[in-house]
């Protein structure tokens, strides 16, 4: 097993090489919207998992995940060759591409937090004019009950 620090350095280097190759060297239109977010390398340095996100062409467009995945599969051999020549390790790691759902998950969490804030604001508006039900002091006062019993019993 390799040194974890070496695996981390190799993962960072692979991430840089793959991102650069996707941006500047590989001319596949679906890859124009792919961003490499993270890379993990196994302890034996034989397999690398590259995490990526896909953005839409405009802010309103939905990203084309299937086209991006297919383009990455087509470019996998070229990317692995570039990683091998750029890293100089004895065995070039195999590349696996995994769609990173963190941006979508964080957007969903932001939406849920916004709904919770709106519900809290509605509750605060309702509470403003509200008052407690019943008497101000609903509990029996100890001194008043003792005085009544002592008068009747004597």
Instruction: Check whether 50 has a pLDDT greater than 90.
Output: yes
pLDDT of residue 78: 94
Kindly report the CATH number assigned to the domain that includes residue 79: 3.30.300.20
Burial class (CB in 10 A: 0-12, 13-18, 19+), 40: middle
Beta bridge partners of 96: 49
Note the pLDDT tens digit of each residue in 85-140. 999 888 999 999 999 888 778 888 999 999 999 999 998 888 887 777 777 676 77
* Range(s) of the domain holding residue 89: 4-100
Tell me, yes or no, whether 150 lies in a domain: no
Tell me, yes or no, whether 128 lies in a domain: no
Percentage with pLDDT > 90 across the chain: 53
> Is residue 103 a contact partner of residue 63, using CB atoms and an 8 Å limit?
no
Tell me, yes or no, whether 130 lies in a domain: no
Tell me, yes or no, whether 141 lies in a domain: no
Beta carbons within 10 angstroms of residue 2's beta carbon: 14
Of 79, 77, 71, nearest to 99 by C-alpha is: 71
- Count of domains for the chain: 1
Instruction: Check whether 152 has a pLDDT greater than 70.
Output: no
Q: How far is CA 141 from CA 42, 137, 138, 145, in A?
A: 72, 9, 9, 7
pLDDT of residue 59: 63
Tell me, yes or no, whether 36 lies in a domain: yes
Tell me, yes or no, whether 32 lies in a domain: yes
């Amino acid at each position: 097993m390799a040194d974890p620090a070496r695996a981390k350095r190799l993962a960072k280097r692979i991430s840089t090489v793959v991102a650069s190759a996707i941006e500047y060297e590989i001319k596949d239109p679906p890859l124009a919207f792919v961003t490499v977010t993270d890379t993990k390398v196994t302890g034996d340095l034989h397999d690398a998992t590259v995490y990526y996100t896909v953005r839409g062409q405009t802010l309103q467009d939905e990203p084309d995940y299937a086209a991006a995945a297919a383009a990455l599969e087509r470019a996998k051999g070229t990317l692995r060759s570039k990683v091998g020549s750029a890293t100089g390790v004895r065995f070039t790691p195999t590349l696996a591409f995994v769609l990173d759902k963190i941006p979508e998950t964080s957007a969903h969490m932001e939406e849920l937090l916004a709904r919770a804030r709106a519900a809290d604001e509605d509750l605060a508006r309702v509470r403003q004019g509200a008052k407690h039900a019943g008497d101000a002091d609903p509990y029996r006062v100890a001194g008043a009950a003792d005085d009544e019993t002592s008068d009747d019993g004597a």
